[in-house]
């Protein structure tokens, strides 16, 4: 029976099953009939309804900006504050505080939107005291929401920027700014389509939400399982197979998730225990999964939320950014693949017996069709359909394709759950975008971004390499404790102008900053991906983060590589791109050899130093240096092979 016939035959009986399932699910949400049960149902409807509404806007067109952004922010804050009340026992004071915060958020947003709608006809109308208080209350509620979801870092940064904008006229030297009144700052931050309701939240209320929904629907259809099982079946049996499975599986899953923590949760639950079973230590297993999962934010076609915001800032199509990030992303995963192979060689790790692995034929037969929506979405983006509509089409196609197999058919219950999960997953993104909008607004108004850029240029004394090093250090420090999206935006306005002023192309400069913002997910002491992997690996998250940072050295160097080799991000002719890859691939291999001590065999310290020299020569764009680096790498490879053959011959005699 063909795949299509199976799908069609199953529709009739499955429809009856889905009706029973829907009824049972609704009863399960509210039963026993308690206030908490009713609240859970109410919040589930709010969450699913919000996601469904934004899918509708992807088809029919978005609302006016303030409406499009405010609905998402209001529902997000209500979900954030009321969800804890629907589970477990809370103190009466906690219930009152959370309820007031939810009501205050919804009311203040309603007041601001009502006033802003009036401004449309009376542009010179200034907000009154009541509206201004509502705006101030909203700012405080957004700050509290950020503290609960992301900790104090972003709240403190925003508070400092606010105070700097208010007391700027008292600042000395280059820190001086005219200063702004409290009325002006509150009005700009909360009662306009700048600040909280600015372009950052606009991207979240459109493209990011749709791609998040697409990722969740694809996972609900079973694509995440397929992306885990396929590399396991293909290479689980080879040397160090489970670790290579983790790298390839995280690469595939990263193409649809764009989230490091989600990647660890989805793939690491399977790969980390399998790596430990093969012989890898818990620390190395967790580190590999942490490093591989973090690459999802820089791996096309669906990168992290920051990539969509980058497209908006630069005013270029997202497909241009995704294409530019392709080769650096692939090279990063190539380096991780070499790392796990080197570890397997060093300790003699074998693969998993074929008898314990799934059949490649069966895995492909069960899930090949699940990739079709992703392929169609990529085609639509390349053909310049809108990002939101491309994602919507992929979601609809995913639902249709899911009915081809009984195990993953998406009926009303599965669709409802996917919609609800979309809104719940968006909470952290929306909160981060809202407060980052405030932070960016203060930076723009005070001009501190330009001042810092000038300071960096002066400190570097016109030396691009020194400027890149300073930018890297500032980026890594600023990214600690911040989510990737907030970290990237902060860096884009503070450091981006300095890099561009020194002649770095805008797309190279912003990709440079995006990489270091993404690397905060694995950089200790705050390494959320490492903390997600630690319980599964049974290891200390800091140790996992340190190991992940060491084995991800190519990711830390990659921004320098593509700044000096723009052809790597497709800034040049086809000949330039091919020639650059021919030099950069062995450079990455040499870098891994320096870190692991394995390069076609074990290497001593002098040989590792020579590999480092070869790697730097290959990265540098001066042709004679590159040729010398290539010759040095070839010499080391041939010398090792020859010595291996000599030793084998001696042993035989």
Q: Find, among 561, 547, 599, 619, the residue nearest to 292 by Cα.
A: 547
pLDDT at res. 531: 83
- The DSSP secondary structure of 465-510, one letter per residue, reads HHHHHHHHHHHHHHHTTS-HHHHHHHHHHHTHHHHHHTT--HHHHH
DSSP conformation class of 206: I
Please determine, for residue 89, whether its predicted confidence score (pLDDT) is greater than 50: yes
Over residues 389-418, the mean pLDDT reads: 86
- Reported as a pLDDT band with limits 50, 70 and 90, residue 123 is very low
Q: In the predicted model, is pLDDT for residue 6 greater than 60?
A: no
Tokens 């002006």, residue?
Answer: 184
Average pLDDT over residues 263-284: 80
Q: Does 72 score more than 80 pLDDT?
A: yes
Residue 125 has pLDDT above 70, yes or no: no
pLDDT at 33 over 80: no
- Residue 238 scores a pLDDT above 60: yes
Residue 213 vs residues 205, 217, 418, 433, 456: alpha-carbon distances, Å: 12, 6, 7, 17, 40
Question: What local confidence, expressed as pLDDT, does residue 423 receive?
Answer: 94
What share of the chain has pLDDT > 70, as a percent? 90
Distances (CA, A) of 389 to 27, 386, 583: 34, 5, 39
pLDDT for position 141: 95
Please give the Cα distance from 521 to 508 (Å, whole number): 21
**Among the listed residues 95, 98, 87, 130, the one whose alpha carbon sits nearest the alpha carbon of residue 111:** 130
- Predicted confidence (pLDDT) per residue in 347-358, tens digit: 777 777 777 777
Average pLDDT in the 131-142 region? Answer: 92
CA distance 177 to 455: 16
Torsion of CA 410, 412, 413, 419, to 10 degrees: 90
Is the model more confident about 24 or about 495? 495
Q: Which residue has the tokens 């000096």?
A: 564
Kindly state the helix (H) or strand (E) to which residue 242 belongs, with its residue range: helix 241-257
Closest CA to 126 of 115, 136, 137, 134: 115
Residue 46, pLDDT score? 94
Tell me, what's the pLDDT at 25? Answer: 52
Q: Which two tokens stand for residue 506?
A: 């805008």
Q: 313 versus 237: which is more confidently predicted?
A: 313
Q: What is the DSSP letter of 127?
A: P
φ/ψ of 405, rounded to 5, equals -135, 135
pLDDT at 54 over 90: yes
Q: What is the DSSP letter of 208?
A: I
Q: Who's near 122: CB < 8 A, 6+ residues apart?
A: none
Tell me: the pLDDT tens digits for 607-642?
889 999 999 999 887 788 888 988 988 888 887 655
Residue range 5-10: mean pLDDT, rounded: 42
Least confident segment among 22-31, 337-346, 478-487, 565-574: 22-31
Quick count: other Cβ atoms within 10 Å of Cβ 609? 12
* Higher pLDDT pick, 642 / 174: 174
Residue-wise pLDDT for 466-521, tens only, equals 999 988 888 888 777 677 888 888 888 888 888 988 889 999 999 999 998 888 77
C-alpha span between 83 and 40 (Å, rounded): 7
Ramachandran quadrant class, 570 (left: phi over 0; alpha: psi -120 to 50; beta: rest):
left
Cα distance between residue 102 and residue 211, in whole Å: 27
Whether 481 contacts 254, CB under 8 Å: no
pLDDT at 486: 80
Q: Which residues 6+ apart lie within 8 Å of 63 measured at CB?
A: 57, 71
pLDDT band of 119, cuts 50, 70, 90: low
Higher pLDDT, 653 or 431: 431
- Can you read off the two tokens belonging to residue 232? 């396991």
Confidence of residue 650 (pLDDT cuts 50, 70, 90): very low
Mean pLDDT of the chain: 82
Contacts 24+ apart (CB under 8 A), 120-127: 126/187, 127/187, 127/191
- Please state, in angstroms and rounded to a whole number, the distance separating the CA atoms of residues 587 and 380: 35
In this structure, of 19-28, 264-273, 492-501, the range with the lowest mean pLDDT score is 19-28
* pLDDT confidence of residue 30: 53
Q: What percent of the chain has pLDDT over 90?
A: 21
| Residue 55 pLDDT grade (very low, low, confident, very high; cuts 50, 70, 90) | very high
Which tokens is 383 given? 């053909």
Rg of the chain in Å (alpha carbons): 26
pTM: 0.81
pLDDT at 4: 37
* Cα dihedral sign, 146-147-148-151: positive
Q: Read off the pLDDT of residues 592-616 as tens digits, 9 standing for 90 and up.
A: 998 888 888 788 888 889 999 999 9
Mean pLDDT of 267-287: 82
Q: What is the mean pLDDT of residues 96-113?
A: 92
Tell whether the model's pLDDT for residue 302 goes beyond 90.
no
pLDDT of 124 = 42
How many CB atoms are closer than 10 A to CB 641? 12
Q: In the block, which residue shows the tokens 């542009």?
A: 123
Taking residues 434-454, what's their average pLDDT? 83
Which of the 8 DSSP states describes residue 169? G
Token readout for 531 is: 């903390």
Q: What is the pLDDT of residue 624?
A: 86
pLDDT of residue 195: 87
What pLDDT does 651 receive? 44
pLDDT of residue 29: 54
- CA 103, distance to chain mean position in Å, is 31
Kindly state the helix (H) or strand (E) to which residue 11 belongs, with its residue range: helix 3-30
CA distances from 355 to 165, 358, 609 (A): 66, 8, 43
């Amino acid at each position: 029976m063909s795949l299509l016939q199976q799908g069609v035959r199953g529709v009739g009986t499955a429809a009856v099953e889905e009706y029973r399932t829907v009824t049972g699910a609704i009863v399960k949400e509210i039963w026993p009939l308690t206030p908490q049960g009713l609240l859970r149902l109410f919040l589930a409807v709010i969450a699913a309804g919000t996601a469904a509404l934004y899918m509708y806007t992807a088809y029919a067109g978005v609302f006016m900006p303030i409406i499009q952004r405010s609905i998402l922010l209001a529902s997000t804050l209500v979900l954030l504050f009321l969800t804890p009340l629907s589970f477990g026992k809370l103190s009466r004071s906690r219930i009152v505080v959370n309820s007031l915060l939810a009501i205050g958020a919804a009311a203040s947003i309603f007041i601001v939107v009502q006033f802003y709608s009036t401004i449309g006809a009376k542009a010179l109308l200034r907000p009154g005291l009541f509206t201004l208080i509502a705006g101030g209350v909203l700012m405080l509620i957004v700050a509290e929401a950020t503290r609960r979801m992301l900790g104090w870092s972003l709240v403190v940064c925003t508070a400092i920027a606010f105070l700097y904008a208010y007391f700027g006229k008292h600042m000395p030297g280059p820190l001086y700014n005219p200063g702004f009144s409290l009325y002006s700052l509150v009005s700009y931050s909360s009662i306009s389509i700048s600040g909280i309701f600015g372009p950052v939240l606009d991207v979240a209320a459109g493209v990011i939400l749709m791609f998040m929904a697409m990722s969740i629907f694809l996972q609900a259809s079973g694509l995440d399982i397929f992306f885990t099982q396929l590399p396991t079946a293909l290479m689980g049996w080879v040397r160090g197979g489970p670790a290579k499975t983790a790298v390839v599986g995280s690469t595939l899953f990263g193409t649809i998730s764009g989230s490091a923590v989600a990647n660890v949760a989805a793939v690491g639950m399977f790969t980390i225990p399998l790596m430990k079973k093969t012989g890898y230590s818990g620390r190395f297993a967790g580190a590999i999964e942490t490093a591989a999962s973090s690459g999802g934010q820089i791996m096309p076609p669906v990168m992290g939320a920051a990539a969509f915001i980058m497209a908006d800032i630069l005013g270029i199509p997202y497909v241009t950014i995704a294409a530019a990030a392709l080769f650096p992303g692939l090279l990063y995963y190539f380096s991780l693949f070499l790392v796990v192979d080197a570890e397997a060689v060093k300790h003699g790790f074998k693969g998993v017996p074929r008898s314990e692995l799934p059949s490649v034929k069966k895995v492909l037969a069960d899930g090949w069709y699940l990739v079709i929506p992703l392929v169609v979405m990529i085609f639509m983006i390349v053909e310049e359909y809108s990002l939101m509509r491309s994602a919507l089409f992929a979601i609809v196609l995913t639902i249709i394709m899911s009915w081809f197999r009984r195990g993953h058919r998406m009926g009303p219950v599965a669709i409802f759950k996917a919609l609800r999960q979309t809104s719940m997953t968006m909470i952290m993104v929306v909160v981060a975008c809202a407060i980052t909008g405030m932070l960016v607004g203060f930076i723009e108004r005070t001009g501190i971004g330009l001042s810092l850029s000038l300071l960096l240029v002066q400190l570097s004394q016109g030396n691009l390499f020194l400027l890149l090093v300073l930018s890297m250090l500032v980026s890594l420090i600023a990214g600690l404790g911040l989510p990737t999206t907030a970290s990237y935006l902060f860096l884009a306005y503070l450091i981006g102008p300095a890099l561009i002023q020194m002649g770095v192309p805008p797309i190279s400069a912003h990709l440079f900053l995006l990489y270091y913002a993404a690397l905060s997910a694995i950089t200790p002491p705050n390494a959320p991906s490492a903390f997600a992997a630690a319980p599964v690996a049974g290891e200390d998250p800091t140790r996992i983060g340190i190991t992940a940072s060491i084995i991800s050295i190519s990711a830390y160097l990659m921004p320098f590589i593509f700044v000096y080799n723009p052809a790597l991000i497709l800034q040049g002719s086809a000949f330039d791109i091919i020639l650059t890859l021919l030099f950069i691939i062995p450079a990455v291999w040499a870098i891994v050899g320096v870190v692991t001590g394995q390069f076609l065999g074990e290497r001593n310290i002098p040989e590792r130093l020579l590999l480092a020299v070869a790697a730097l020569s290959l990265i540098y764009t001066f042709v004679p240096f590159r040729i010398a680096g290539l010759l040095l790498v070839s010499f080391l490879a041939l010398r090792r092979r020859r010595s291996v053959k000599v030793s084998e011959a001696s042993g035989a005699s």
